[in-house]
Amino acid sequence: MLLQNKKIAIIGGGPGGLTLAKLLQIKGINVNVFERDINKDARVQGSPLDLHEESGLAAITEAGLLDEFKKNYMPGADRLKIMNEQAEVFFSDHDDKPEENFGQEHFRPEISRGALRRILLESLEPETVIWDSHFLSMEAQNDGWLMHFKNNKSVYADVVVAADGFNSKIRPYITDIKAFYSGVTMLEGNIYNAGETAPKMNALLNGGKIMAFGNGKDLLMGQKDNGEIGFYASFKTDEKWAVNSGLDYSDNLQMLDWFKSEYSEWSDVWHELFEGAVSPFIPRPIYCMPVDQTWKSMSNVTMLGDAAHVMPPFAGEGVNVAMRDALEMSKCLTSNEYNSLQEAITAYETDMRERASEKAQESLENGERMHSENALRTMLDFFRSH
């Protein structure tokens, strides 16, 4: 086996990195995950994920974790309402959504990010994840890399895998191709104990998802576990809006005033989101890697997920593609059909770029549809046809 007696370092403990670690450990590979978080509870996890049969669920199944996933997913959280800016419902599958289950092509079960992370973490061998490991740099040593971390720790690995997201510190060792701004920024908010702090929104959501469209702007929200709601105000603006807006993202009243001004045509029923959210709000400019990107593969470093192909979130593919990356990379690195690690990594990266390019193009096109003046009609036609 190509990885026999080799040390593998995965930089980043998100779903992609943890999935890869699990799949490699099943094959008996020596692997560690280096995560900058101080511990598993260090950060608030984002909105729920819907896993797809051919990607996220395929990786979960290969990892032997499908039964555990079934115990933790959120039945009904995939139900959807589509509304206009006045909160009028134009589409809802809450009452007539067909009964779906695992193994069906279009079943996309929702799970909270926190639950998915916990399932993956608990499946790993003890001490697999090295917490509080803030990667700084690495240098070639022998046939691998000597990695340096913020706490003055240096660790050698034969193969390094970048799973450290859009601002990857590893990616520049592989390619200098950079992402471009999609034209859309999303403002993220989270509401705890939504039944009390945002009762109208909680009732409107009813355990599922809402997509609201009006005047070229969107509100997107979903039920999280533990009675929480995650939401995004999504709109077209310039790339530097987040730093040039002059807004104090920790001031709910100021953020509500911003919403009233920028979403002036929208009903005041949405105001409860901004009144009940915990601060700070998080502005997220949305980026995408060029769909035609390519590079010469190396023998001792590669990447997956957002580090390799960050894409807009408008097709629900980000985590799914990352977990599919982990699945395909594990297969290539542990296969006997390749004569060298460089050959195996080349095969993985070639396939990965092709898959990601298709999903990125789909996401970009969806983003344009969702922020057009006739977004409501376009999205209604799409969902009714499906």
Each residue's pLDDT tens digit, 205-239: 998 999 999 999 999 999 887 789 999 999 999 99
Please state the rounded mean pLDDT for residues 309-328. Answer: 93
User: Average pLDDT in the 254-266 region?
Assistant: 97
Residue with tokens 């094959």: 27
If one looks up domain 180-288 in CATH, what number appears? Answer: 3.30.9.30
Could you tell me what percent of the chain has a pLDDT over 70?
Answer: 96
Q: Helices 341-370 and 375-385 sit at what angle, rounded to 10 degrees? A: 120
Query: What band does 29 get if pLDDT is binned at 50, 70 and 90?
Result: very high
Mean pLDDT of 237-261: 97
Q: With a cut of 70, say whether residue 372 has pLDDT above it.
A: yes
What pLDDT does residue 43 have? 65
Is the predicted pLDDT of residue 315 greater than 90, yes or no? no
Domain with CATH 3.30.9.30 in the chain: 180-288
Which pLDDT belongs to residue 75?
Answer: 84
Higher-pLDDT residue of 102, 90: 90
306 is in an annotated binding site: yes
pLDDT in tens, 154-183: 999 999 999 999 999 999 999 999 999 999
CB 297 within 8 A of CB 346: yes
pLDDT above 70: residue 386: no
What is the separation of C-alpha 269 from the centre of its chain, rounded to a whole number of angstroms? 29
CATH fold of 7-45+124-178+290-369 reads FAD/NAD(P)-binding domain (3.50.50)
- Residue 98 pLDDT level (bands cut at 50, 70, 90): low
Q: Would you state the pLDDT for residue 151? A: 84
Q: How far apart are CA 135 and CA 160, in angstroms?
A: 12
The Cα-based distances of 78 to 74, 114, 287, 307, 382 in angstroms read: 8, 17, 25, 27, 16
pLDDT digits (tens, 9 = 90+) for 342-353: 999 999 999 999
Q: How confident is the model over 300-311, as a mean pLDDT?
A: 97
Q: Is 257 annotated as a binding residue?
A: no
Per-residue pLDDT tens over the stretch 30-84: 999 999 998 887 765 566 788 988 999 999 999 999 999 999 998 888 889 999 9
pLDDT of residue 97: 63
Q: How far apart, in Å, are the Cα atoms of 206 and each of 73, 199, 228, 298, 379?
A: 17, 10, 12, 49, 21
Percent of the chain with pLDDT over 90: 82
Contact 309, 360 (CB under 8 A): yes
State the pLDDT at residue 104: 66
Q: What is the pLDDT of residue 99?
A: 62
Beta strands (DSSP E) in the chain are: 7-11, 30-34, 49-50, 80-84, 89-92, 110-111, 129-130, 135-141, 144-149, 154-157, 159-162, 180-191, 209-214, 217-223, 229-236, 278-288, 301-303
Q: Is residue 96 part of an annotated ligand binding site? A: no
Q: Which residue intervals of the chain bear CATH 3.50.50.60?
A: 7-45+124-178+290-369
Q: What is the pLDDT of residue 44?
A: 58
